Amino acid sequence: MSLRILRRRRVAENAAFGTVKQATGGHEEAPPGNDGKPALVYSVDRTDQTSRDRGRRRAAGIYGTIVTAAVIAAGGSQLTTAALEVTVLVTLIVYWLAEQYAELLGEHTHAGQLPRPQQVTSSLAAAWPMVSASFIPLLSLLVARLAGASASNAALVALGVTVVLLIVHGHSAARAAGLTGVRMLLVTATAGLLGVTMVVLKTVLQHVHH
């Protein structure tokens, strides 16, 4: 009798496992965890989380590049190169911390509980490209200045670099979203247009101050 019950249990388990294989396109999955949730659930959750993190990093990179361009455009004709570099970095760090503070407070603080340390570090890391997006433009700003360009012209060089980076970011985001043809061109061109707007702003401000 016990052997018959064991066989029936095996048949039921195999049937359930076959359903999971069908749901995953024929790929085998690990057995359920201790809490009874199928391994498929964990796999999907991890995939979704990874996709969201990549999307957040791309968005943060675009946002950081635009803020970098805006600060350079506003201060490139007034500040020294060193002061401009510091201003860009401080501005981005404040934006980065403020955005993550608001997000963690709004999404992960509830029922009298603060976010877990893992949530805080994960959120900060995912949004760090907002700050690191400025590194290449600021490096180009410094190199142009050391090469003999005036502070204003070095700022224009850095703005040109931000335009290129925005085009790259826009194209990368469009490709990740599965866009092709005209839609990809539209998304990429829009990102580049934001950078061009900052270049125009810098030029206008330069003429106003002179």
The residue that leads in pLDDT, 116 or 42, is 116
Contact 72, 92 (CB under 8 A): no
The answer to whether residue 19 sits within a structural domain is: no
At 206, is the secondary structure helix, strand, or coil?
Answer: helix
- What is the span of the domain harbouring residue 166? 53-209
Instruction: Give yes or no for residue 100 having a pLDDT over 70.
Output: yes
Our measurement of the distance from residue 187's CA atom to the centroid of its chain's CA atoms, rounded to an integer in Å, reads: 16
Phi, psi of 173 (to 5 degrees): -65, -40
Tell me the C-alpha distance between 21 and 39, whole Å: 11
Phi, psi of 109 (to 5 degrees): -110, 115
Model confidence at 39, pLDDT cuts 50, 70, 90, reads low
Place of tokens 């608001």: 102
Whole-number pLDDT of residue 54: 84
The answer to whether residue 186 sits within a structural domain is: yes
- Number of helices followed by number of strands (H, E) in the chain: 8, 0
Whole-number pLDDT of residue 47: 66
Q: How many domains does the chain have?
A: 1
Contact 176, 184 (CB under 8 A): no
Mean pLDDT of the chain: 81
The answer to whether residue 104 sits within a structural domain is: yes
Instruction: Give yes or no for residue 172 having a pLDDT over 80.
Output: yes
CB-based contacts of 168, cutoff 8 Å, min separation 6:
none
Query: What mean pLDDT do residues 162-190 have?
Result: 94
CA distances from 43 to 14, 27, 34, 187 (A): 20, 12, 15, 31
The answer to whether residue 126 sits within a structural domain is: yes
CA distances from 203 to 59, 155, 180 (A): 27, 10, 34
Q: What does the pLDDT look like over 108-132, one tens digit per residue? A: 777 678 888 898 898 899 999 999 9
Model confidence at 5, pLDDT cuts 50, 70, 90, reads very low
Percentage with pLDDT > 90 across the chain: 56
Q: What does the pLDDT look like over 133-148, one tens digit per residue? A: 999 999 999 999 999 9
The answer to whether residue 24 sits within a structural domain is: no
Instruction: Give yes or no for residue 206 having a pLDDT over 90.
Output: no
The answer to whether residue 14 sits within a structural domain is: no
Amino acid at 116: R
The answer to whether residue 12 sits within a structural domain is: no
Model confidence at 179, pLDDT cuts 50, 70, 90, reads very high
Q: What does the pLDDT look like over 62-84, one tens digit per residue? A: 999 999 999 999 998 889 999 99
